[in-house]
Amino acid sequence: MDNETNKINKRQKHKKPWWEILCLRCHQADPTPSWQPRWWGKFCPYPYFSTYRQTAQQISIILFFLLIWAFLYVEIGEAVSLRGELFSMTMLVITAYLVGWVWLKLTTLPALIGMLLTGILFQNLQLVHMTDEYRKLNQDLRKISLVIILTRAGLGLQASVLKKHYVAVLQLGLLPWIAECVAIAMTTHYLLKLPWIWAFLLGSMIASVSPAVVVPCLFRLRDVGYGVSKGIPTLVLAATAIDDSISVAIFAIILNAMFSSGSTTFNIIKGPLSIIAGIVFGSLWGALSSVVPEKADTYVVPLRFLMLFLGGLFSLFISGYIEWSGAGPLAIVSSGFVAAYFWETQGWPINKHPVSNIFRILWIFFEPILFAFTGAQITVNTLDLQVIKMGAICLVSCLFLRVIVTFFVSYGCGLNNKEKLFIGLTWMAKATVQAALGPAALDLVHNGKTAGSPLADEEYYAKTLLAVSVLSVVISAPLGAILIAITGPRLLNKDDDTPSKRNEDKEIDIEVAGDTLTQL
């Protein structure tokens, strides 16, 4: 009966006019009952227009950016006028947000791709220009984005999963990352002629998996029951958090060692010490946030948020200031993890509590800032086509190598071959860490720092890192999202299905894959 109902629904869906199907793709119904003005349904009927709730969300976000610009205009004056740099940057962020929303609805690919392309378009049409003063603001905003990314990763880690599957989490979180990092370093050293230290700097960044792509994709599959019986979404997300934190920490350590003026021996010793210091400080700060503020305080939610957010900002900025850059990212992840552990004992479920929701809201604002500004660093007519071609070859070959390595290192994790293949495909997506760290070396070069090579060479190496990081997002983010959505229903077991029933319902599984891709 269920099969017949699904087939009837599909036939009815195809009878709808194409414009209505397009509107249904762009405008989803509200998941919970919502209020709207009486006139809204008459002048803006669903599905031809978004619901009132969703429209109000879009307007409030745009107003947020405009109010910031207006405040700065009043305070500073001409520097942020309608022809000023800050106004063009504000228009870039608003446009990136809207383009990302439309891109998501029409293509079902991650919105960050549209945001990144918007930044590239603005830069190459000369619609945005940033002097050194505003480039510094750009750097600080990217650091705030990184704090949000890493805190969310820490808050999503479950101690029970790590304790029960710590071997599997470490296997999947570290070994594929190491393999891809080394592979990227070797291929870019020989194909792009990067010095070994620059090649490993690039490898440590590119090897990171994107939670901005992986998390929503896995949650869509989890919500319809795929892979839940073996805890695959939770296992993958825990390993992804390990992957991201180690990637950011190693990148920071290498970058700091390259541009540091201290002795080589001290820089080598400082690497592992910064890792230990970051974990210890973050753990202590996370534990403190479980008792300060008091759990029954009326303002416990905003105070706990400020504890983690401001503590993360302090960790990241102070670690860079004292040139222990590897400590900051690990402190942020550790504080989120320890805080979430203690909050769970107090009745807040992991990653489903008010503080986590605040970080999700913050990410709505900082996602277009991060990806639009990263794209705005790329000037097409200055790119070396040979770098783009060889960079694409390096990226694609190393992505497939990572899939193979993940398949083999996941032995002993209690997974069948289809599940091992799915996890390998899941980790092809790159985006957030690459956007946050891609311009970091170029920022240092522009600020007058040196790694010991001629300025022209260092600028070339730094621009190569930025170009390859942007290329990795453009290639792997849509590829990863599509593969997760399509292969999930095929490679993972569904909790409420038997194998025989799944064979009878292949058409429904294909439909679920399409729906999952649409919901992304």
- In this prediction, residues 215-236 reach a mean pLDDT of 78
Q: Up-side HSE of residue 159: CA atoms within 13 Å toward CB?
A: 12
CATH code linked to domain 131-519: 1.20.1530.20
Residue 498, both tokens: 């038997």
d(CA 66, CA 86): 11
Predicted pLDDT of residue 403: 92
> CA 192: distance to chain centroid?
26
At 18, phi and psi to the nearest 5?
Answer: -60, -35
Q: Work out the average pLDDT over 258-269.
A: 72
Handedness of CA 58, 237, 424, 116 (dihedral sign): positive
**Confidence at residue 3, expressed as pLDDT on a 0 to 100 scale:** 52
Task: Identify the CA nearest to 367 among candidates 181, 96, 107, 168.
Answer: 96
DSSP character at residue 383: S
Q: What is the rounded average pLDDT of the residues 416-442? A: 87
Least confident of 25-34, 145-154, 293-302, 463-472: 25-34
Q: 264-273, 310-319, 434-443: lowest mean pLDDT where? A: 264-273
> Cα angle at 193 between 135 and 265, to 5 degrees?
75
Contact 47, 27 (CB under 8 A): yes
CB 176 within 8 A of CB 244: no
Q: Is residue 379 within 8 Å of residue 123, measured between CB atoms?
A: yes
Q: How many helices (H) and strands (E) does the chain have?
A: 23, 0
Residue 417, pLDDT > 60, answer yes
Q: Is 310 exposed, middle or buried (0-12, 13-18, 19+ CB in 10 A)?
A: exposed
Residue 16 has pLDDT above 80, yes or no: no
Candidates 386, 511, 243; CA nearest to 519 is 511
DSSP per position, 324-336: -TTHHHHHHHHHH
Angle, CA of 489, 425 and 401, to the nearest 5°: 155
Percent of residues, the chain, with pLDDT higher than 70: 85
Q: Do residues 224 and 494 touch, judged by C-beta distance below 8 A?
A: yes
Residue 432 is predicted with a pLDDT of 83
Rounded alpha-carbon distances, angstroms, from residue 23 to 7, 95, 441: 22, 21, 43
Provide, rounded to the nearest whole percent, the portion of the chain with pLDDT above 90: 22
Instruction: Please report the pLDDT score of residue 126 as a whole number.
Output: 84
- Quick one: pLDDT band at residue 51, thresholds 50, 70, 90? confident
DSSP-assigned letter for residue 51: -
- Is 45 a residue whose pLDDT tops 90? no
Which pLDDT score is estimated for 23?
A: 67
Beta bridge partners of 494: 226
State the sign of the Cα–Cα–Cα–Cα dihedral 24, 30, 33, 35: negative
Quick: pLDDT tens for 321-330: 887 877 888 8
Residue 357: is its pLDDT beyond 80?
yes
Average pLDDT rounded to a whole number, residues 38-59: 80
- pLDDT score for 262: 65
The predicted pLDDT at position 511 comes to 41
Q: In the predicted model, is pLDDT for residue 515 greater than 50?
A: no
The pLDDT of residue 2: 46
Longest dimension (CA), the chain: 74
At 504 the pLDDT is 39
Confidence of residue 514 (pLDDT cuts 50, 70, 90): very low
Q: 85-107 vs 354-375: helix axis angle to the nearest 10?
A: 110
Band of the pLDDT at 412, cuts 50, 70, 90? confident
Mean pLDDT to the nearest integer, 212-222: 78
For the record, the structure tokens of 243 come out as 């992957």
Alpha helices per DSSP H over 323-416 = 327-345, 354-375, 385-409
335 has pLDDT over 90: yes
Alpha carbon distance 82, 87 (integer Å): 6
- Residue type, position 302, single letter: P
Q: Band the pLDDT of 42: cuts 50, 70, 90.
A: confident
Q: Out of 31-40, 339-348, 434-443, pick the least confident.
A: 31-40
Banded pLDDT at 184 (limits 50, 70, 90): very high
pLDDT tens-digit readout, 112-127: 889 989 998 998 888 8
Provide the residue type at 193 as one letter.
K
pLDDT on residue 394: 94
Rounded to 5 degrees, what are φ and ψ at 451? Answer: -105, 10
Residues in the chain: 520
pLDDT bracket for residue 342 (50, 70, 90):
very high
Kindly report the number of other CB atoms within 10 A of residue 59's CB atom.
10
- 8 Å CB contact between 466 and 439: yes
pLDDT of residue 304: 93
Residue spans per domain, the chain: 131-519
**Those residues with Cβ within 8 angstroms of residue 247's Cβ, 6 or more apart along the chain or in another chain:** 177, 181, 204, 205, 207, 208, 433
Handedness of CA 170, 172, 173, 177 (dihedral sign): positive
In the beta sheet, which residues pair with residue 226?
A: 494
Q: How far apart, in whole angstroms, are the C-alpha atoms of residue 27 and residue 33?
A: 16
- pLDDT(497) > 70: no
Q: What is the pTM of this model?
A: 0.78
- pLDDT, position 26: 66
Mean of the per-residue pLDDT values for the chain?
81
Upper half-sphere CA count for residue 370 (Cβ side, 13 Å)? 29
Q: pLDDT: is 492 or 26 the higher one?
A: 492
Tokens of 469: 């990081």
